[in-house]
Amino acid sequence: MRSRIERTRTANLAATASRRSKGLQHLAIALTVIAATAYAPPPAIAQQPAAVQPSSPAVALAPHRAVYEISLDQARGGTAVTDMSGRMVYELTGSTCDGYTQNMRFVTRMSTQEGVVLSDMRSSSWEDGVAKLFRFTSSQYKDAKLSESTQGDAARADGGGEVVVDLTKPGKKAVKLKQGIYFPIQHSIALLAAARKGETVFQADLYENRVQVSFDNVLAHLPHIASGKVRCLAVTTKTRSPLLPEAPTMAEAGVPGFESATNYTLFAPRALAPEIVARLNAAGNEAVADTDFRERMLKLGIVPVGSTVAEARGRMEAEVKRWAEVIRKGGIKPS
């Protein structure tokens, strides 16, 4: 099922992307992105609380209201839904001083082969400006009858420690969460603060010592590795990275058999004539060997590797076999 979302009034921006995939045949060029394990040394002074205090300039969220009209564009894949329409309303009010309130209501009318289903989801929450208190309530109605209700609050311990969640609906229950949990508004502010610096929230947490270890693309951390802000413990590829030749592989660091990398392989339609495949393979290998091309790829954190068609196919088959075993042993199921 694919839905079309039309914005009628909003203060937000949205972007959409689509992906298409087809059956393809391997060609013999692979561009490997090196991933690295980065480590942030513990600070010399006491660690800052987990509550995020965005660096200057401070991030302030502006009160706003957004309304989305939703309709079904196309149903496919054997879904039982034949028609769907609805409206979602989101509202943010408040300030850092008074705390922020978020209200959302999502109403849909869905037609199936068994009849029409009316759904009404409502949620409201309040969060203080220093990420210590959070109150929330949500309810869901089906065909105008209440089917689910949740209510509670959460409080962060002094010093940015663990978060205690007290549920009052549907039943009384207390849950303790570890340090480093973000409340919704706090997370939004952290996202914006990190984006201003060209970072992700996880990278910001690493650089500011809120987390100690990260698995990430090495390119994102190169400037901070060079400055000494973080230290590369190992790269996860089979061989050392030309970007960090002094960094050991995971096997060299004491974890034999650990290998993980993102491979970009050139593909073509399955029915492509063998002589055309051979010509494309030769052109790809020629490009990989070009000095200017290699330098440009390395600046992007990509290590160009040429090969034959058979080698590329073998590498893909080995990857499928290896990760299939990981999925089997881990009992991983589709969500």
Q: What is the C-alpha to C-alpha distance for residues 110 and 271, in angstroms, rounded to an integer?
A: 42
Of 55-64, 94-103, 129-138, minimum mean pLDDT range: 55-64
Helix, strand, or coil here: 114? coil
> CA angle 328-329-332, nearest 5°?
55
Q: What is the pLDDT of residues 188-233, one digit of tens each?
A: 887 777 777 766 766 777 777 777 887 887 777 888 888 888 888 9
Q: Pick from 138, 162, 185: which residue ends a domain? A: 185
Model confidence pTM above 0.75:
no
CB-CB neighbours of 58 under 10 Å: 10
- The reported pLDDT for the residue numbered 66 is 93
Q: How many domains does the chain have?
A: 2
**Full residue range of the structural domain in which residue 261 is found:** 22-42+199-330
**Packing angle, helices 274-289 and 309-330, rounded to 10:** 90
At residue 311, what are phi and psi to the nearest 5 degrees? -65, -40
Distances (CA, A) of 145 to 80, 88, 114, 138: 23, 19, 19, 14
Q: Are residues 324 and 236 in the same domain?
A: yes
| C-alpha torsion angle, residues 154, 156, 157, 160 (rounded to 10) | 170
The first and second tokens of residue 206, run together, are: 């690493």
Q: What is the pLDDT of residues 54-85, one digit of tens each?
A: 343 467 788 899 999 988 877 666 667 888 89
Q: Are residues 269 and 320 in the same domain?
A: yes
Q: Are residues 177 and 204 in the same domain?
A: no
The first and second tokens of residue 142, run together, are: 């089906």
Give, rounded to a whole angstrom, the gap between the first and last alpha carbons of the chain: 16
Q: Is the pLDDT of residue 245 over 80?
A: yes
Q: Are residues 104 and 146 in the same domain?
A: yes
Looking at the chain, the whole-number percentage of residues with pLDDT higher than 70 is 78
Q: What is the C-alpha to C-alpha distance for residues 105 and 123, in angstroms, rounded to an integer?
A: 7
The first and second tokens of residue 306, run together, are: 């040429």
Helix, strand, or coil here: 77? coil
Say if 193 falls within a structural domain. no
